[in-house]
Amino acid sequence: MVFKSRESDAMNKRPHFTGLLIILLGLGFVPRLGWAQPFPGEPAPPSLGPVTDDEFRLPLDDATAAGVDQSISLLGSPDYKNREAATTSLIEIGAPAFAKLREAYRQTEELEVRLRIEQVVRTAYLNHYVFDHNGFLGVQLDPLDQNNPKGPRLPGPESGVKIRMVVTQSAAARAELKVGDIIMSMNGITLSGVGQDAVNRFRERIRTTKPGTKVRFEILREMKPKSVDVIMGRANEVSVRTVMFAGVYLQVSERFETWWFKYFRPEASSTTADQP
């Protein structure tokens, strides 16, 4: 007679997860660790609604329109610096230039120009729906510990946050903020909160400041007061894709592919009924 313990019997009844995983891998299903996903607990991104041609109706004044025409003419320039400057200029003008960019895309047969227009339009589209809605300073912050005898001592009960790292080519770097600077106020309003709460509140103020906005910080540098003006930047694409607002980024990126094919591809123009 063979006796089997309850534990042995239970193990025999368990699903063979290892074998299932091997089968899935054999069928070519490989989970990608690089997939960008929202933080746990974040709400799902709001629906953007159907793809329309609304972006082609954004206002464009005469002076800016002339600048768009000039920049488009330089996208095929033999001078690389001119092509790069024109690309940057069109990205900064953004979505209001889409109508003129579409016309240029359909009329040109130059691959270089088409590729640059697609680059401009994709970047400006993402800016319009994702990046332009949230400011990005480009720093990592530490809370101040007033009880740390080795840490900086603020001259009073004021709150502040300390810069631990500055992202290269960010708004903070361009304004020459430095590691060790203590930010005390923003646009004349002193920072609030204590410890990590002060960091979180400051981050929220930065996030809700529109890119391109001029901001004045009052800081302490080596415990000496100093004013620093910063032009708020956009979050870089890697940060948004992998950390911040990842769900919105993915949704807008997928939407762009549909929108681009519908309104820019010449072969789609004859089948698109709702052109502006």
List, for residues 12-25, the tens digit of each pLDDT value.
Answer: 444 444 444 433 33
Let me know if 182 is exposed, middle or buried by CB neighbors in 10 A (0-12, 13-18, 19+): buried
Query: Which of 34-43, 83-92, 175-184, 245-254 is the least confident region?
Result: 34-43
Structure confidence at residue 6 as a pLDDT band (50, 70, 90) = very low
What is the structure's pLDDT at 162? Answer: 93
Residues 6+ apart with CB under 8 A from 215: 186, 187, 209, 229, 230, 231, 232
Quote the DSSP letter at residue 46.
P
Inter-residue contact 41 to 243 (CB < 8 Å): no
What is the structure's pLDDT at 240? Answer: 61
What are the extents of the domains in the chain? 54-132+242-269, 138-234
Inter-residue contact 227 to 216 (CB < 8 Å): yes
What is the structure's pLDDT at 244? Answer: 55
Per-residue tokens: 72: 């488009």
Query: Which of 47-56, 212-221, 238-247 is the least confident region?
Result: 238-247
What is the Rg, in whole angstroms, of the alpha carbon atoms belonging to the chain? 26
CATH superfamily placement of domain 138-234: PDZ domain (2.30.42.10)
What is the structure's pLDDT at 48? Answer: 66
